């Protein structure tokens, strides 16, 4: 549905109908073109300011539905009549660092895993043909006193958009002196996208003495919560949502080897649009 507005063109709103984008409720998001024929995706913030999210969208579209792709999916086929999509990619979160079996009166621990990068792009020209995709797996697989597994990359259309997975947290060897295990880096330096949010680095694990320390929490994802810290002998906690980093493990006083918490798998969320 379109309507005239004071900026001199029509707009297609995504959440409500109004004759003036400046009079919409806060949080309203809509697509509208101006007189220069460069359609834009805009929203109104809580302060009442209309802001541009994407500065140039070719054509006007109507939202028709959302498709969610998860780890293991390899293909996306647009629904009937869909020619454009807002593609939201999040890379996999990494595993926290593990902890070896410490010696008596000693401590070892791991840093948190990094969270996955997020990249969002408005794509046009979809024809109905299948598109190759990949969704990043959760970082996992490392055991004991080793660096956590990296999160996988989420990939739209054979590399047109790539959101990088996070890197695994490191592991600190058994000892008694103050020291830390670095957290893994958040996903960054992917490919493509109109809106880019780098992943968050995991927190370091810190040994305070032979009998005291705290493991690192995972990097938080824009999609949800990370794996938390541990202060007693235990495996790391897993990332709780898409793209979140897992927490590091800790072992005190010969308590046994512990694995870092697994990261959260990546995700691809595809909002589909018909032309108006």
Per-10-residue mean pLDDT for the chain, 276 residues long?
36 39 50 47 67 61 94 97 96 98 96 98 96 98 96 98 98 97 97 96 98 97 92 97 97 97 98 90
Q: What local confidence, expressed as pLDDT, does residue 60 receive?
A: 75
Virtual torsion, Cα 258, 111, 106, 214, nearest 10 deg: -100
**Phi, psi for 23 (deg, rounded to 5):** -100, 5
d(CA 236, CA 189) in angstroms, rounded, equals 27
Q: What pLDDT does residue 65 have? A: 96
Q: What is the pLDDT, as a whole number, of residue 120? A: 96
Query: What's residue 141's pLDDT?
Result: 94
Q: What CA dihedral angle connects 228, 229, 231 and 237, to 10 degrees?
A: 50
Contact indicator for 243, 71 with CB cutoff of 8 Å: no
* pLDDT of res. 61: 84
Q: What is the pTM of this model?
A: 0.79
Looking at residue 54, its pLDDT comes to 61
């Amino acid at each position: 549905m379109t309507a005239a507005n004071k900026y001199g063109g029509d707009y297609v709103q995504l959440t409500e109908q109004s004759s003036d984008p400046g009079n919409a409720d806060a949080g309203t998001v809509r697509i509208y073109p101006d007189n220069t024929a460069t359609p834009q995706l805009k929203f109104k913030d809580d302060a009442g300011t209309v802001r541009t999210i994407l500065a140039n969208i070719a054509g006007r579209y109507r939202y028709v539905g959302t498709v969610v792709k998860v780890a293991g999916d390899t293909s996306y086929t647009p629904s009937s009549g869909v020619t454009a999509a807002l593609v939201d990619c999040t890379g996999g979160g990494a595993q926290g660092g593990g902890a070896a079996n410490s010696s008596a009166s000693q401590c070892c621990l791991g840093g948190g895993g990094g969270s996955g990068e997020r990249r969002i792009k408005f794509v046009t020209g979809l024809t109905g043909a299948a598109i190759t995709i990949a969704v990043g797996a959760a970082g996992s697989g490392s055991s004991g006193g080793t660096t956590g597994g990296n999160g996988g990359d989420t990939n739209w259309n054979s590399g047109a958009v790539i959101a990088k997975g996070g890197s695994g947290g490191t592991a600190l060897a058994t000892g008694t002196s103050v020291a830390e295990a670095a957290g893994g880096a958040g996903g960054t330096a992917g490919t493509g996208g109109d809106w880019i949010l780098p992943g968050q680095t995991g927190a370091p694990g810190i040994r305070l003495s032979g009998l005291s320390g705290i493991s690192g929490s995972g990097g938080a994802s824009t999609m949800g919560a990370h794996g938390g810290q541990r202060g007693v002998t235990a495996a790391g906690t897993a990332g709780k949502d898409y793209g979140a980093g897992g927490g590091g493990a800790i072992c005190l006083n010969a308590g046994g080897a512990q694995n870092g918490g697994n990261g959260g798998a990546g995700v691809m969320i595809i909002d589909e649009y018909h032309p108006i």
